[in-house]
Amino acid sequence: MEAVKAYELELELRQIRELRKGIELKMKELEYAEGIITATKAERKLYRAFADLLVEITKDEAIEHIERMRLAYKRELERLREKEKEIMEKLSRLSF
């Protein structure tokens, strides 16, 4: 029974780690986008994709959007890290 529980927990841990990696990758993407946006000249047009619809936005709006996304990703990362820690603790209790 303990082996089944450990297997389930390990599976959950793997899924959480994959999710975390995905979000970390998205954070890098945000950094890249922010770098390009801040370096662009003021006259250059910027658009935000709402599904397939592109809406023109200002540079400030673009940076604000990135900042909001960054905060959301950070919160999600924090939640996943907590969950990961919790599962690790459960796993260590099972193995002893």
Cβ nearer to another protein, comparing 20 with 65: 65
Task: Answer yes or no whether residue 65 interacts with another protein by CB under 8 A.
Answer: yes
Count of residues near another protein by CB under 8 A: 22
Percent helix, strand and coil across the chain, each rounded to 5? 80, 10, 10
Name the segment binding another protein (CB under 8 A); options: 11-19, 44-52, 77-85, 87-95.
Answer: 44-52
The 10 Å Cβ neighbour count of residue 12 is: 16
Task: Answer yes or no whether residue 9 interacts with another protein by CB under 8 A.
Answer: no
Amino acid, res. 36: I
Task: Answer yes or no whether residue 45 interacts with another protein by CB under 8 A.
Answer: yes
Residue 57 in contact with residue 46, Cβ under 8 Å? yes
State which H helix or E strand residue 48 sits in.
strand 46-50
**Token digits of residue 82:** 């907590």
From candidates 44, 53, 92, 96, binder to another protein by CB under 8 A: 44
**Token digits of residue 94:** 């099972």
Binding site for another protein (CB under 8 A): 26, 29-30, 32-34, 36-37, 40, 44-49, 52, 54, 57, 62, 65-66, 69
